[in-house]
Structures are given as C-alpha cells and as structure tokens.
C-alpha cells in the first residue's frame, strides 16, 4: 500500500501551531467560562504585523463561528472590494460599549484568504491579546478577553460583556420559554390519569396534553425541541461519555480500511491481532494521536515513531461531518420528570414535577476541543475469521468520547426548572 509523505516530527504539537496558541491568555478556561453561560465566541489573537498593517487573518475557527452563527459565510463571499462587507460593531470595554465598524473581506490576491479588521483596534489592544468576537443580530461585539476588567482571572464577566451574552442567550430561548410555560400549565392540573397503559403512558399523556399527535416521525416534538418524559428515578454517571461514533473517510485516508489499520499498527495479544487504545492530542504509548490542521477542515489520526520522531497520517474525518454527527446525537431536549401513583381505581396517575433542559453542543468549540485534547477517539478493533476462513477486522465503532469533567466546554450547562 502506498504511503503519503513522512513528516519529520520531534514535537507533534508543532504541526498544528496556530495564532490562538500565541495568546497571552489560555483559551480553554475562556471557552469553559462562556460555555457555562450557554454561548460560544469567535477568537482572534492579533500579531504585531497584523496590527501594524490593519489586517488580521480570519482563521478557520473564526470563520466557522461566523458561519455557524449564520452571520457571515466567507465561502460565499466574492473576492475584491465589491464583495467586501462592512458591519456595525461595538468594542465591549469595561466602562461600556463603544461603536465601531468591522470589515469582512477576501482580497483579490493570495487566493482570497479571508480577512477581518476592526476599525480602531490597534489603539485598544496589544499583540497577543485574546479577542472574543460575539455575533448578535446584525452586529459584532469585540471584547479584549485578556483584560481582567472584562474577564476576570476566575472567569467572571464584566457587567457590559455579561449584558451582551445574556441578550444572545435570551434570543435563543424564546421557544424554550414558550414550552416551559405550557408545561407549567399542565403541571398546575395536579395528578393526571394516564391516557395509555404501560411504560409509554407518561410520555404519551404529556404529549397529548401539549396537543402533539403520536407519530413515527424522528423530527423533534415541539418547534425543534425533543420532549422526553419519564418517571422519577435515580441515575448513575460514568467517568467518560461517548459523544458519537463515526467511521473515517476511508477514501481520503492513508489507511483505506479496518483490516489495513490492523495490519499496519496492530499487535498480538490473547492469541489475536488487535488494536485498542485512546487517542487525544498527545501520542499514546503506541504512538497514536489526533491532529487538527490549521485550516480546521479535517481531523487526522496520526502515528509517530517515538524513537525517531517521524510521523505520518493514518485516518481522516471531515470536521463538518463530525459536527453534524455530534449535533444529530445531542439535540435540544426537555427531560420532564413525573411522580407516579395508582388511584383508588387502580389507574396510574402522573404529577409532572420538573424539567431538565439540555441544549445541543456548542459546535464552534469542536475543533478547539480536539486541539486541546478534550475529545478523544477510541480504537476498538481485532482480527477475526469468517466461516470460510476469510480475514476481516471486527470493530466496535470509532468512538469519540469526552471526560464528564470537560463536558461544560462543549455543552451549555443543563438547566433544571421546577414546574409546580
């Protein structure tokens, strides 16, 4: 099997150095602080040259944020001055909001590499400062997150930045608040006799009260929100959560199938050829790790020879497909809890008591979570033989996982609401 070019690698991290790693404030705690409030941001780290020339690269992470926020799509933007877009913006200072303008454009030269410039930026920031870009409506808000008066060392937002964030969150909560009001109206009715016997009665009864007809559609139940009702019971937790499973893009990968992966990197144990292990941003004992290139369009699994430092690409996933898999698996959901009892006539009754509201993942954070090693990939393969003796790779899925302690950087915190 042919090989792609081998890279000379002494430090795997050097391959994915980008402007965000030059910041004077660590990015991960900032992402976590904003995620706790239910928002994402785009990030910029001005370089001395960029500030001097009034030109900043709109790197892949920022482009993804603006696109996912439905604010601006550089891929659809015409090159040159005719395609330049100038939008209203504000500097979020510790003392208030200061009007400005933001230019989004692709020059005629250099393949139209996306650019961004905030008017008046060079007088307000230093090279290496971490800038947060927040899209709200038709405006962009720019905050210097390296300034402790705007974002304190312990993650507290200034009054003016918190106001911007709260407005963004409020705008996204309109449907959820509408549904919550309806649920409170149902809960105020007290004990409600089931409308269907058996385990599904608790959900069927609630949906009937909401006016939702039973059907086989996989679409969310209420204006994009999935409703899951259940009888109250304790639940356990695990230390690592499987986010989703996604097979590699075999056509674009160096290794073209699971058996090739086993033959190249597998080892013999317990009488069979196998490959088990977790991958993150640092090489594991077998030399496998994950890499996000600077354009953030793909995720590569890599293998480095720990003795020589030579590294090579192994498998590839399209980053947008990974985001879609994550979003599909984790929709916005209302988990409605209910107490259950039997009436004097033996009919089950429900008292709907509270709602746990979970929202979909903060998709703009996905690439950064891979880069920071917070999302991991598990290899779970071994060799087996079919009835006719044909070799094949038996895999248990290419599982993307995350430690529960890091979930707050990818998911807004669950909100619990009583509905007495």
pLDDT at 405: 79
Beta-bridge partner residues of 299:
317
* Helix and strand totals (H; E) in the chain: 9, 22
Q: Which fold has domain 1-17+174-420?
A: Alpha-Beta Plaits (3.30.70)
Write b or e for each residue in 80-117: b if 16 or more Cβ atoms lie within 10 A of its Cβ, otherwise e.
Answer: eeebeeeeebbbbbeeeeeebebbbbbbeeeebebbbb
Instruction: Parse the chain into domains and list their residue ranges.
Output: 1-17+174-420, 37-172
55-78 pLDDT, tens digit per residue, is 999 988 899 899 888 899 999 999
| Res. 270: pLDDT tops 50 | yes
Lookup: tokens for 98:
């200061």
Cα distance between residue 116 and residue 44, in whole Å = 10
- The Cα 11–Cα 23 span in angstroms is 20
CA distance 77 to 58: 13
Per-residue model confidence (pLDDT) at position 219 = 52
> At 123, phi and psi to the nearest 5?
-85, -5
What does the pLDDT read at residue 220? 53
d(CA 172, CA 306): 47
Stronger pLDDT, 218 or 201, i.e. the higher one: 201
Question: Does the predicted model carry a pTM greater than 0.75?
Answer: no
Q: Are 315 and 341 in contact (CB under 8 A)?
A: no
What is the arithmetic mean of pLDDT over 259-268?
96
The model's pLDDT over 4-14, given as tens digits with 9 standing for 90+, comes to: 333 333 343 43
DSSP code for 268 = E
Question: What H or E segment, with its residue span, contains residue 61?
Answer: helix 60-68
The pLDDT value recorded for residue 344 is 93
Q: List, for residues 148-157, the tens digit of each pLDDT value.
A: 999 999 999 9
The CA–CA distances, whole Å, from 242 to 22, 218, 320, 378, 402 equal 31, 21, 19, 10, 7
With bands split at pLDDT 50, 70 and 90, how would you rate the model's confidence at 170? confident
**Does the structure show a pLDDT above 60 at 17?**
no
Q: What confidence score (pLDDT) does residue 74 get? A: 95
């Amino acid at each position: 099997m042919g090989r792609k070019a081998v890279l000379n690698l002494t430090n795997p991290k050097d391959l994915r150095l980008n402007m965000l790693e030059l910041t004077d404030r660590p990015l991960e705690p900032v992402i976590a602080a904003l995620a706790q409030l239910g928002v994402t941001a785009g990030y910029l780290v001005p370089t001395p040259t960029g500030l001097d020339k009034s030109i900043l690269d709109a790197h892949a992470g920022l482009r993804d944020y603006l696109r996912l926020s439905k604010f601006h799509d550089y891929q659809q933007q015409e090159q040159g001055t005719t395609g330049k877009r100038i939008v209203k913006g504000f500097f979020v200072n510790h003392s208030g909001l200061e009007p400005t303008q933001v230019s989004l454009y692709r020059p005629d030269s250099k393949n139209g590499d996306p650019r961004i410039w905030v008017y008046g930026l060079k007088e307000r920031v230093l090279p290496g400062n971490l800038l947060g870009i927040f899209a709200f409506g038709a405006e962009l808000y720019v905050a210097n997150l390296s300034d402790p008066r705007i974002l304190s060392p312990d993650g507290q937002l200034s009054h003016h930045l918190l106001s911007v964030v709260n407005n963004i969150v409020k705008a996204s909560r309109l449907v959820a608040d509408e549904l919550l009001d309806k649920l409170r109206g149902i809960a105020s009715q007290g004990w409600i006799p089931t409308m269907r016997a058996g385990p599904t009665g608790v959900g069927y009864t609630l949906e009937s009260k909401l006016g939702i007809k039973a059907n086989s559609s996989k679409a969310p139940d209420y204006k994009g929100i999935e409703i899951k009702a259940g009888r109250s019971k304790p639940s356990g937790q695990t230390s690592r959560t499987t986010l989703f499973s996604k097979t590699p893009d075999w056509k674009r990968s160096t290794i073209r199938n699971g058996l090739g992966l086993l033959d190249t990197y597998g080892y013999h144990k317990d009488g069979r050829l196998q490959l088990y292990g977790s991958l993150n941003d640092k090489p594991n004992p077998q030399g496998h790790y994950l890499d996000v290139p600077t354009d953030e369009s793909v995720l590569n699994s890599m293998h480095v020879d720990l003795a020589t430092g030579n590294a090579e690409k192994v498998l590839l996933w399209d980053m947008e497909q990974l985001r879609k898999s994550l979003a599909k698996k984790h929709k916005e959901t209302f988990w409605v809890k209910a107490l259950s009892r039997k009436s004097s006539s033996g009919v089950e009754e429900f008292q709907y008591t509270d709602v746990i509201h979970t929202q979909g993942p903060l998709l703009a954070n996905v690439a950064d979570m891979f880069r920071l090693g917070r999302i991991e990939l598990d290899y779970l393969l071994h060799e087996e033989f079919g009835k006719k003796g044909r070799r094949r790779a038996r895999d248990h899925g290419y599982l993307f996982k995350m430690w529960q302690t890091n979930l707050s950087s990818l998911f807004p915190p669950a909100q619990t609401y009583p509905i007495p």
